[in-house]
Amino acid sequence: MQIRYSRQRELIREILMSTKSHPTAEWIYEKAREQDPTLSLGTVYRNLKFLCEQGEAIALETADKCIHFDGNINNHRHFICNECGRVYDLSESEVEKPCELTNAGFTVERESCVYYGVCAKCNQN
Ligand SMILES: [Zn+2]
Ligand SMILES: [Zn+2]
């Protein structure tokens, strides 16, 4: 049971890492079931939550409360379109840490910056 559980987690992790499209749990579930038809959506949710807790994945919420997952945990910023819900990656360049934190002795371990607005595609319509 334990072995099976971690193999499913590995499968979910591989699928998440193989895409840059910031998929939803449902999308990962569809992909994963092609390889393991016994997988349940609940297992996918549980494993995605676990990966986020372990710092191996990031969860992003769109304006309509849809959760997207990102297997790229390098510091990078996101833009989320309020019209189409698409998640865009911004540059992974090192982002300057706010000096009010570093000066006060805080250690920043992870940063998550999300811009919300209307993407270029939606602006053309
Ligand atoms: Zn858009
Ligand atoms: Zn991303």
Q: Where are the alpha helices (DSSP H) in 18-62?
A: 25-35, 41-53
> Beta partners for 68?
24, 60
Domain count, the chain: 1
Query: What range defines the domain where residue 44 resides?
Result: 2-123
For ligand 2, the distance from its centroid to the CA atom of residue 1, given in whole angstroms, is 32
Range scoring the smallest mean pLDDT among 28-37, 55-64, 108-117: 108-117
Rounded distance, CA 73 to CA 112, Å?
Answer: 10
71 CA → ligand 2 middle, Å: 8
Reported as a pLDDT band with limits 50, 70 and 90, residue 1 is: very low
Confidence class for position 30, pLDDT limits 50, 70, 90: very high
pTM: 0.83
CATH number at residue 74: 1.10.10.10
Pairwise pLDDT comparison (75 vs 38), residue with the higher score: 38
